[in-house]
Amino acid sequence: MFNFGPSMKHFSDLVLLEKIKASDHNAFDVLFDRYWEKLYKAAYARLGDDVIAQDIVQEIFIKVWQRRENISINISLENYLHGAVRLSVISHFRLQQANDLRMQDALERINLLEDSIETIAGYIELEKTLEEAVNGMPEMLKKVYMLRSDDLSVKAIAGELGLADQTVKNYIAEATRRLRVVIVEKYPEKHLTYLALLLPLLHK
C-alpha cells in the first residue's frame, strides 16, 4: 500500500474526488489505497477468483481516472465504487458461456438488468429498496431470504434453521410476495422487468 502524509490520508472522499477531477495523481493514489482492499473483497466474495477480482477492481479505478474530468457522482463515493464492482461482476458473468439452463436463465436476468438500469446510481437505488424491504421483514423470514439469496437449497436452509422443508417454502413465498409489492409500488413503469430479474433468484 502507499505511504501518505497524515493530511493526505485524512482528506474526505469529496475532497479527494475534486482533486482527482483536477488531475491530482496523489489524490487518486489515496483513493486507491483507501478502497482497493474493500472492493477486492467484495468482488472476490461474488466471484471466488482472485485474478478476476483484482482485474475488475483495477479496471474500475482506471475508468475513474480516465473519466475524472466529467465524472458525476450523486451518491457517496464508497457506494458508487461498490456499485461499480457489482455491475462489473454482472458484466463478467454475462460474457461467460452459458453451459446449462440455469446459467442461461441467469444471463437472461442479467441482460434485463443491464437494459433496465442504466447507471450505477440506479442499480444502488434498487438494491437499497430491496434491502430496506428485507430489513423490515420478521427475523426468521429475513434469515430465510438471506440464505436463499446466498444460493442455499430449501433443504439446506431447513437444516440450517431447524425448519421443515415446507415451512421454508412458505417463507420464500411470503418474501416473494412482499418484494413484489415493494417493487410494484416503487417502480410502476419497470416493475415487470425488475420482477422478472429478481424474483427467480428465490425460486431456483
Domains of the chain: 8-96 (1.10.1740.10), 118-204 (1.10.10.10)
Residue 111's pLDDT band (boundaries 50, 70, 90)?
A: low
Q: State the alpha helices, DSSP H only, in the chain.
A: 6-9, 13-21, 25-47, 50-66, 77-95, 101-116, 120-135, 139-149, 154-161, 165-186, 191-198
C-alpha cell at 180: 413484489
Looking at this protein, which amino acid is placed at residue 6? P
Q: What is the pLDDT of residue 5?
A: 45
C-alpha cell at 116: 433496465
The 10s digit of each residue's pLDDT in 32-83 is 999 999 999 988 888 888 889 999 999 999 988 988 888 877 778 888 888 8
Look-up of cell digits 501518505:
4
Alpha carbons 134 and 137: distance in angstroms, whole number: 5
Residue 175 has pLDDT above 50, yes or no: yes
C-alpha cell at 34: 483507501
Residue 9's pLDDT band (boundaries 50, 70, 90)?
A: confident
Biggest CA–CA distance in the chain, Å, is 59
Residue 98's pLDDT band (boundaries 50, 70, 90)?
A: very low
How far lies 90's CA from each of 25, 43, 110, in Å? 29, 10, 7
